[in-house]
Amino acid sequence: MIDTHCHIDFEEYGKDRDEVISRAKDKLDAVIVSGIGYESNKGVMNLCDEYKNFIYPSFGYHPVSSQNCSEEELKLSHTHLIENINNIVAIGEVGMDYFYVKDKALREKQKEIFLSFIEIANEYKVPLLMHVRDCEKKALNIVLEYDDIPYVIFHCFSGSSKTARRIMEKDNYFMSFSTMLCYSKQHQDLIKNISLDHILTETDSPYLAMTKEERNEPVNVVNAVKKISEIQNEDMETVDRITTNNARKIFKI
C-alpha cells in the first residue's frame, strides 16, 4: 500500500514526525511527499534523505500559493527542480485551482506557471502530479497536448464522470483518491465506475481527515483502500495489489 500524496514535511508533524512515519512503516510500502514551492521542495528532499527507500520526493509549486509568487522565486524553483530531476519521482503538486482562485488574471497566471512545469515534465519525461480543482476538463485538455509526459496523475480527483471516462482512455493517466472517500458521497459515487487500473491512493495529510479538527496521516490510506474495496465489491487484497502496482510502475519505486 502506498500513500502517493501527502505533506508530512509540514510543521503539523514537528513534534511527532518519527512516530507518524513509524506507524506508516508498519502498514505501508512507501510514502510520497509533495513539495509546494521552492523552500518546501528543499525540506521535502531533506526528509526523504533521512528516510531513504521509504519516503520519496515530488517537487512542485502549488497553484494557490503560486498566484502571489515572484518571477525570481519561480526561476529558482525551476532551476532547483531541474538540478534534482533524477532524484525525484514526479513533478507536483502543480496545477490550477478554480475553487480558491476566482480572479481571471490570477487564473491566467496559474495557468502560465502550470504550463512552465508541464514543459519540464515533458522535456525530461517525468511523471506529472497535478492539483486540479473545479477545472479538471481544462487541465486534461492542456496535458493532452503533450506526448512525452510518461504519466499524468490527477491528485484528489473531483472531476465529472465524463472527464474520468476521458482520462481512462489514456493508459498512462491516473486518478488518485484519498481518505475523503470515507465521508464524501460525491467521491463514493464517482469511484464506482473508475477502473482500478487508473486508480492511486493517497491521504493528502495533514488534510482530509475524518473530521476538520483531526490531523490526517499516511497510515490512514488503509481506510481509502478499504472503502474502494467496499464500493467496487472487490477484496481489499486485490485493490491493494493493483493500486500499489500502479504506483510502483509510475514512480519507479
- Which positions lie near Zn ion, rule CB under 5 A? 204
Contacts of 46 (CB under 8 A, 6+ apart): none
User: Residue with CB nearest Zn ion?
Assistant: 204
Q: Alpha-carbon distance 26 to 83, whole Å?
A: 33
Q: Report the nearest approach of Zn ion to the CB of residue 133 (Å).
A: 11
Nearer to Zn ion among residue 64 and residue 253 (C-beta): 64
The residue type of 184 is S
Q: Alpha-carbon distance 125 to 65, whole Å?
A: 25
* Cα distances (Å, whole numbers) of residue 1 to 213, 224, 236: 26, 10, 11
> Are the C-beta atoms of residues 144 and 106 closer than 8 Å to each other?
no
Q: Report the nearest approach of Zn ion to the CB of residue 158 (Å).
A: 13
Q: What does the block give as the cell for 180?
A: 475523503
Q: Report the nearest approach of Zn ion to the CB of residue 194 (Å).
A: 20
Q: Report the nearest approach of Zn ion to the CB of residue 5 (Å).
A: 6
Nearer to Zn ion among residue 10 and residue 54 (C-beta): 10
Residue 53, Cβ density class (10 Å: 0-12 exposed, 13-18 middle, ≥19 buried): exposed
Nearer to Zn ion among residue 204 and residue 217 (C-beta): 204
Nearer to Zn ion among residue 97 and residue 204 (C-beta): 204
> Are the C-beta atoms of residues 131 and 63 closer than 8 Å to each other?
yes
Q: Report the nearest approach of Zn ion to the CB of residue 204 (Å).
A: 5
Nearer to Zn ion among residue 3 and residue 204 (C-beta): 204
Nearer to Zn ion among residue 162 and residue 250 (C-beta): 250
Q: Report the nearest approach of Zn ion to the CB of residue 238 (Å).
A: 27
Phi (first) and psi of residue 134, to 5 degrees = 60, 20
Give the three-class secondary structure for 137. Answer: helix
